[in-house]
Structures are given as C-alpha cells and as structure tokens.
Amino acid sequence: MSEVKISEARISEVRTKAALAKEAAAAMNLATTKEKNEALLKLADALIAGQDAILEANAKDIRSGEANGTSSSLLDRLRLNPSRIEGIADGLRQVVELDDPIGTVLESFDRPNGLHIEKHRVPLGVIGMIYEARPNVTVDAAGLCLKTGNPVVLRGGSAALESNRVIVELMRQALADTALPADALQMIEDANRSSVDEMLKLNGLIDVIIPRGGASLIQNVVLNATVPVIETGAGICHTYVDATAEPSMAEEIALNAKVQRPSVCNAMETLIIHSAYAESRLAAMAERFREKNVELRGCERAKSLLPWIKSATEQDYATEYGDYILNVKLVDSVDEAIAHIRRFGTMHSECIVTETQANAERFLAEVDAAAVYHNASTRFTDGFEFGFGAEIGISTQKLHARGPMGLPALTSTKYIIKGNGQVRG
Amino acid sequence: MSEVKISEARISEVRTKAALAKEAAAAMNLATTKEKNEALLKLADALIAGQDAILEANAKDIRSGEANGTSSSLLDRLRLNPSRIEGIADGLRQVVELDDPIGTVLESFDRPNGLHIEKHRVPLGVIGMIYEARPNVTVDAAGLCLKTGNPVVLRGGSAALESNRVIVELMRQALADTALPADALQMIEDANRSSVDEMLKLNGLIDVIIPRGGASLIQNVVLNATVPVIETGAGICHTYVDATAEPSMAEEIALNAKVQRPSVCNAMETLIIHSAYAESRLAAMAERFREKNVELRGCERAKSLLPWIKSATEQDYATEYGDYILNVKLVDSVDEAIAHIRRFGTMHSECIVTETQANAERFLAEVDAAAVYHNASTRFTDGFEFGFGAEIGISTQKLHARGPMGLPALTSTKYIIKGNGQVRG
C-alpha cells in the first residue's frame, strides 16, 4: 500500500483532501498537549462567535429536510439552536480537560544485547469519519481526533451539508490562528454515495475509518472498506432474569434497559426469563411494560402466561428494534439463556439479574460481548458512564478496541529502540 | 453481522469448518492455562510420534513441487526432515513456557454510582490464518492461537497440502485426548483460490484474518476481506547514515541490515547517506557491499561518487527487493532523509545512525513506523529479538497491534460490570 501510486490516480475532492490531511499528519504528530488544548478552546470560541452563520445554514438544512419529507426524529437530530451550539462548544472544552494519551510510554525494557526498547503511544494517523446528519458529531469527532493528534476527514450525511460546511469552515479558520495545521480538519462536501465509497478504499492516505450511524451505514462500511475499520454500533442486547432474581431489582433493570431510551444501541431488545421466575412474576413485569406502551412479543411459553401478546419469530429475535417493542423468551437454565444470546446477540451489552453468585459468574465468563453486566442496566455501556470523559463510539468488534472508546482508542503505538551499534548475529 | 443467516447460505468446506471452529470458541474461552499447556505438549509429542507419516506426506509435496518447477528456495522452505520436525515440536514446547495473557484484569475501577467495572483480556475468537507453503507456520499458528484460547482455521499454500493435512490430522487426534475441543483446529483442504476468498468474507464465523506471506498474498487479503484483518509484512526499510555517524558502526549496521538475511521484511532496501559522510566514506562502504555481492543502484549524486553503479529509479525506491540489491540515496539533512522515508517507506522498520543526539531524537519522533532505531540494525524487529518468546507476525498497520506481535496481540478485551440494581437516570 505504498503512497507512490497517488500521482497516477485521478484527482477527486476526496483524494485531494485526504492527501492534505495526510500532509498534516507529521505536524499533528509533533503537536504538544498545550498546543492542542489551546486550539480546541479556539474552536469552541469560534463556534460561539459564528453562531448566527451556523443557525442560518442549519435553517437551510431544516427547510430542505422538510421539503424532502425527512422524519421528525431525524429533523430533531439535525436541528440546532443557541443552547445546542453552546452544548457542542462545551463538549470541546471538556475534551481539553482530558488527559492526552499521546507520548505515554506504555512499556520500557532492556534486552541482554543492550538494546533499550520503549513502546510509545502515537496518533493513529488520518481518521475517516463517516456518519449521519448530526452536526454535533462533526464537532465531537473533530475535537477527539485533534486532541489525539490525528487529522480527520469528515463525511457527514448530506442532510446536514450546509450546517457542517459552516461549522467546519469556522473551525478551520480558527485553526489557522493556532499551532495546528488547518489541513488537519477536512470535510467532504460531495454528497454522492460515491464519495463514501472512495474514502473506504483510500489505503495509504486514510489510516482508519470509523463509521457512526445506523446498521445500513455501518454494514456498507464494513463490507466495502479496504482501509481498516473500527466497527461501531449494532446492539441486540439481552437482559436475563434468573430464577433467584430479586423481583423489584429485575423489574427496574429490565424497564430501564428497554424504555429509558429505546432508540440507542445499548437498549434491550429481548428479555429472557427463567421459567421459575416467570411463573409467579412475569404477569407483574408485563404489566409494567404495558404501562410504558411497550409491545411484547413472546415465545410459546411466554404466550401461555400472557395470552394477549403476539408471537415472537426468529426474525424478531434477530432484530434491533430501537423502539417500544420487546421480545420475551422463557428458558429453564442459565445455559439456555447463554445459548440464546450466543445465537442472536451482537456482542454489545448483555445482563444477568440474579442472586445466585455461581450463575452470575458463569454468565459473565461465558457470554462473549463488549460489556457483560451483573445486576445493572445495559444502558451503562457508554464512554461517559464509564468515566472516560468522551466517546468516539462503541466498538462491537474485537480488534483494537472493544466497548466504549475514549481517547486511547484513537491511538496506535510505535517501538523506539536505542542501541550502540548492535547488529543481528 | 448476525449469525442468524448461516443456515440460509450454501454449505461449503470453509463455512462448515469455520462454523465448527466457532462452536469450539465457547469451550476454548473457558480453557484453563493448565489445560492449554497440557494440550500443547501433547501436540508436540504427536508430531514427533507421527514423524514418519509427516515425512512421507512431505516427500509427496516435494515431488509435486519439483514436477511443477517450483523454485529451489520455495522447496527449501517446504522441505521437512527429522531435525526440522524436532524444531517445530520444540516451538510448541516453548509456547507452553510463555505467560498466558487470558484472564488478566487490565483495568479495574469503581464509578460514583457504585458500579464496579473491570476490563479483562479474552480470546479474539476464531482466527483465520492465510499463509504460504510453509508447514512450520501450520504448527506455529496452531500453538499460538490455542495458547490464547482462539480456535483457528488454517489455510496454507496448496504446495504444502499433503504435509499440512497429516500435521493437522495428528494434532487434531492429539487434541481429542485433551480438555480442548479438537474442532478448535481446522484446516481448509480446498486448494482453490476461491476458498481463500470465502474465508475473507465469513463475518460472524471468523473474527480476524491474519495473512502471512508475500506482498501479493497480503494485498489480496487486505483488498478483499470484510472480516477484520491484521496486516503483516511488507517492509521497505531504510537506514539513514547521518553526517556524524561513527563510520565502523555505520558500516556494520548497514551491512547487517542488508545482507544478514536479505529475504526478510526487516532487511534494508535503501541506504540514505548524508552527503558530508558520503564524500569521505561512501567508497569504503560501497566496497564492503561489493564484497558481499550486493548490487548497488544510486541517485545521481551517489553515482557521481560511484560511477560504476546503476541508476536508481523511483520504482526502485518503492520496491521491496528481498534480495542482494540496494538503493543508495544522498541527502543534505535529516529532514531530507525523513521526507524520503515518508514517501517510500512502508512504516515497518527505520534506522538512523548518528552521534548527533538532536538528530536522533528528531528521527525517532518524526518517522512514523512500527519500529524506529537509533544506532542498531533494523533486523531486530522480531518477536523473539524483542523478548516476546513468540511471534505470530509483524503488524504493519496501526490498528490493534503494531510491530512484532506476541501472544497479547491475539487477545481482545471485555468489560465486566458488577452492580446492585443500578439503572440509568
């Protein structure tokens, strides 16, 4: 994947901007924590100062969205107002407060031949962010990438194009007045899907692609990228209520996992219940979900206890509803619960509610997921809830980073070896 | 990437065996260090006990290779004899001695809401190894994967098919007599390229693909895999001899980097020399390379000092020769050296020889590679030389692992969260 072929290829917006980002990598690599923090504060100020221009551009996006029949929930994510812009700028200021992982020496050792070897944290390089029409992600991603010394190429959803254009222009202008190169921040304006496809194959210019968004966006990236990807997202999460679960705790955890925010990836999609618990307690649990307008879909055994609910199909168990719908599945053992999760889970977040320590231990050891919980809601899988102070996404893959990704997930390492003439025999 | 779709797809050797490996993952995940070590010792014994069958199969591979006109260097890598089999078995026994990274708690912290969060090292899952006709890699990879609790699907070069078949069969039989599932070890016998292509896209059944081999094998994997890949391999490595380099040290390091084993990825391909050093010392250095039958290809300035050498083209600078050929490039500063490396290097191993500490520091900080050296040969980039006791490959990518990969590179992490009824507000 040598860079030598660059000059032979066609020149497009994507390639040009990625090449500028790559050029900026060397300076970003050397930027000090102080320089990076000063730059982030200037970006925050620039967004506040440029608020009118942002709101004007955002109004255009909203009008286009309305004209195109965009759903009200998408419009809500797209819409900015002064308090949201203030919140976005505050997010940058919070990143300033976080420890800079770059430059940390992770290991240091001496070899018998006298070589001194150190493993240093370094930036990942150029990060390609592909995401949906959420202008706050534009700023979040820029802040986290710059703090970790990484140039970033942003490709947001076309519905936020006007907002993002103004936001990025304000941030690039602000960068020009800092020690960081303005070219470390690039935004792809080409709204065609082909610009995403091109980013996915820019080995040598983009070091890592991070997709953020719905299942189809992520699937497209995973299936088509030749650049390494950090997969984020899809969550078919389960809560297993064991025979000995404390009933009020089980109900609170299950309700929280489903209804506190059903649209997010760490929300529960299927409630697995031990038959011994279900016999005496499922009716009460179901009543609480009914109060919250959650539609229940059950296995045959669940339906025999709750004749009024629909049947859950295999496809239902494999669906991330992101909505007020919940599958209910009865089992006779923790093994059966684990087997169901192994089959249908997406290795995101899984929970057991039990007072039987041995069952908790088996569940925590045997369920293969980014986060496994005993007696707590799956909704805690989140960089802020984990105390990382930031989150670039939640990795659902096993390479590089798994679970909530804070700043260290945006770094790589490099071995530095010091000798005095050693050669290999 | 749910597993639910498995049953709908066609059943092939690759899919069947990957599914068996996936099934074995749960048991491998729970295997204790003692169980894994006992199994590895039995595999080693089985290879020694089955030596005659291995040699017979290997003789078939060698005869086919000779009939097909396979090069003598490839035949040499393919050929086994009792002492090589002993060495391969010893390799397994050495893996037994290494610390098991699985189960280590990497971080542990409490949140204000009372949640206790731990980050545990866990196996990666099913590893797909794609490699060339080297039967020793079959055993190496099996040993390292099993030690780290990972099932492995092996797809070696077809020229070693008979040898690999017997080796894997012996190891699977040996596993049957251990606590580990024999299905944790799978070998693809289908010699068609299509079996590789199928592996590359088995998301949900294979968790990671690791290619080991030449540039075209690796390129094929990187460009076609939808499963996450750990890229290994290609090395266009440079040695930069600065103006103040100590001459005898510079000569020894440069010679070692080129000729100690020219075919490997950490060998030098281009010697960059400061013009002030070159003026008085290049002739002597060139003489030493000539004595070792190294063909030199130079930039115009190098040629003016060594009129008898060929010209180096841009393409030469971008070529991993793996042979007794060396480019010589003159520069006027450490900046110029860094710029050349940035343009033509593959981020593998890079070296500066200098007595000027400031130049060394700049080179070590600014050159972006897996391993950067001051006053030592690039040939040390190796898991054994680094003291890891093993090496599954040398990663040239920035995600997950970079540089020589020992056992921890074959692991992932998992968050285990313990609560007492916490829900998110």
ipTM of the complex model: 0.93
pLDDT by position in tens, chain B (length 425): 344 444 444 589 999 999 999 999 999 999 999 999 999 999 999 999 999 999 999 999 999 999 999 888 889 889 999 999 999 999 999 999 999 999 999 999 999 999 999 999 999 999 999 998 889 999 999 999 999 999 999 999 999 999 999 999 999 999 999 999 999 999 999 999 999 999 999 998 999 999 998 888 999 999 999 999 998 878 899 999 999 999 999 999 999 999 999 988 999 999 999 999 999 999 999 999 999 999 999 999 999 999 999 999 999 999 999 899 999 999 999 999 999 999 999 999 999 999 999 999 999 999 999 999 999 999 999 999 999 988 899 999 999 999 999 999 999 999 999 999 999 99
Please count the other Cβ atoms lying within 10 Å of the Cβ belonging to residue A71. Answer: 9
Q: Are residues B256 and B379 in the same domain?
A: yes
A402 CB neighbours in chain B (<8 A) are: 412-415
For residue B154, give every residue at least 6 positions away whose Cβ sits within 8 Å of its Cβ, in sequence order, or none: B129, B131, B138, B141, B142, B164, B168, B185, B186, B187, B188
Contact B117, A381 (CB under 8 A): no
Q: Are residues A147 and A265 in the same domain?
A: no
How does the average pLDDT of chain A come out, rounded? Answer: 94
d(CA B134, CA B148): 22
Structural domain that includes position A151 = 3-231+400-418
For residue A58, give every residue at least 6 positions away whose Cβ sits within 8 Å of its Cβ, in sequence order, or none: A78, A79, A80, A135, A162, A163
**A424 belongs to a structural domain:** no
**A393 belongs to a structural domain:** no
Q: Which of B231, B346, B422 sits opposite A2 (nearest CB)?
A: B346
Residue A2 has pLDDT above 60, yes or no: no
Residue B209, chain A, CB below 8 Å: the answer is: no
Q: How many CA atoms lie within 13 A of A396 on its CB side?
A: 25
Question: Rg of the Cα trace of chain A?
Answer: 24
Q: Are residues A365 and A222 in the same domain?
A: no
Residue A400, chain B, CB below 8 Å: the answer is: yes
**A59 belongs to a structural domain:** yes
Distance, in angstroms, between B310 CA and closest chain A CA?
Answer: 21
A219, A3, A402, A117: which is closest to B416 by C-alpha? A402
Interface contact flag, A26 B109, Cβ < 8 Å: no
Interface contact flag, A413 B399, Cβ < 8 Å: no
Residue A343, chain B, CB below 8 Å: the answer is: yes
Our count of domains for chain B comes to 2
Q: Are residues A253 and A341 in the same domain?
A: yes
Tokens coding B276: 């002030």
Please count the other Cβ atoms lying within 10 Å of the Cβ belonging to residue B50. Answer: 19
Q: Are residues A211 and A245 in the same domain?
A: no
Instruction: Report pLDDT for B5.
Output: 46
Residue A376, chain B, CB below 8 Å: the answer is: yes
Q: Are residues B20 and B38 in the same domain?
A: yes
Q: What is the DSSP letter of B71?
A: -
Please indicate whether residue B393 or residue A371 has the higher confidence score (pLDDT): A371
A372 CB neighbours in chain B (<8 A) are: 414-417
Residue A364, chain B, CB below 8 Å: the answer is: yes
d(CA B214, CA A44): 48
Q: Are residues A242 and A222 in the same domain?
A: no
Q: How many CA atoms lie within 13 A of A424 on its CB side?
A: 21
Q: Which of B253, B400, B418 sits opposite A421 (nearest CB)?
A: B253
B260 CB neighbours in chain A (<8 A) are: 423-424
**B99 belongs to a structural domain:** yes
Residue for token digits 């390091």?
Answer: B253
Q: Are residues B174 and B306 in the same domain?
A: no
- CA dihedral B228→B234→B235→B236, nearest 10 degrees, is -120
Q: Are residues A220 and A252 in the same domain?
A: no
Interface contact flag, B402 A414, Cβ < 8 Å: yes
Q: Which of B372, B399, B416 sits opposite A416 (nearest CB)?
A: B372
Tokens coding B90: 């010893």
Instruction: Report pLDDT for B10.
Output: 57
B109 CB neighbours in chain A (<8 A) are: 387
Q: Are residues B217 and B152 in the same domain?
A: yes
Residue A292, chain B, CB below 8 Å: the answer is: no
**B392 belongs to a structural domain:** no
**B391 belongs to a structural domain:** no
Number of A–B residue contacts, CB under 8 Å = 227
**B390 belongs to a structural domain:** no
Q: Are residues B49 and B73 in the same domain?
A: yes
Q: Are residues A140 and A181 in the same domain?
A: yes
CATH number of the domain within which B205 lies:
3.40.605.10
Q: Which of A236, A314, A417 sits opposite B373 (nearest CB)?
A: A417
A260 CB neighbours in chain B (<8 A) are: 423-424
CATH number of the domain within which A247 lies:
3.40.309.10
**B315 belongs to a structural domain:** yes
Percentages helix, strand, coil for chain A (3-state, rounded to 5) are 45, 20, 30
